[in-house]
Amino acid sequence: MNLPQTPSLRLDGKHALVAGASSGIGAACAVALGAAGAKVTIAARRLDKLDALAADMRAAGMAVQTLQMDVADVATTQKQVAEHGPFDVLLNSAGLARHSSALEANEADFSAVSDLNIKGAYFLTRAVAAGLIAAGKPGSLINISSQMAHVGGIDRSVYCGTKHAVEGFTKAMAIEWGPSGIRVNTICPTFIRTALTAPTFADPVRAAWINEKIKLGRVGEVEDMMGPCVFLASDASALITGTSLLVDGGWTAD
């Protein structure tokens, strides 16, 4: 018999855009995509951080270029995507969290978080899709969402709301662009140990809450995001669209 062949996890010949790549999850995913053979455009507001990451990636034999980008600046971002694309893969890790109780949340924080997490993510995803459709190419578009897109959380009403919204437009976009071979998914991590989450882990009450909820008994590391990123970007996930990949240690299993 002819044995079935496992689809490749390689990304050779693919051009990937990683937004929010200057640190944490975004930087790790950029490295993962580059190691899998993709040419990677790393984008963020902090060009100095991008340059340092790019130097390390090139030293490891990866093809990489930098692009200073503020995803919340929709008009400029759309122009940049049109100029530098088309991109076969989008990994959007740009995001913002300002935590407070629902009664204490203010309009300025609501707008800032929504402008990046919802509006910025929506129009970035749309811009990459538009480039693919114009070029007649398939692609894989991935937004880093959160386990909080599926549950509620302490002092996280605004953040949860924005991430639930990302899950909603992901499903709608997947339906619209499926006939063009464009897949749209999210990765939903639990708490990942980064510089941004350090204050949360330093709070004994919050740390106890996290440790109690994660069934595997440990918090996430950026390396935990690298495999899922490559999987969704590659042909190994060719029939997966309009859904979320939960990397939450069992948090949402309750």
Residues classed as catalytic: 159, 163
d(CA 156, CA 206): 12
Q: In what order do the strands lie in the sheet with 39-44?
A: 64-68, 39-44, 15-19, 89-92, 139-144, 182-189, 244-247
Residue bearing tokens 């510089």: 195
81: three-class secondary structure by DSSP: helix
Q: Are 163 and 149 spatial neighbours (Cβ–Cβ below 8 Å)? A: yes
CA distances from 156 to 50, 217, 218, 221 (A): 29, 22, 21, 21
Q: CB count, 10 Å around CB of 51? A: 13
The amino acid present at 173, given as its one-letter code, is: M
On whether the CB atoms of residues 183 and 169 are closer than 8 A, the answer is no
Q: How many residues does the chain have?
A: 254
What distance in Å separates the CA atoms of residue 169 and residue 153, rounded to the nearest whole number? 21
d(CA 254, CA 234) in angstroms, rounded, equals 30
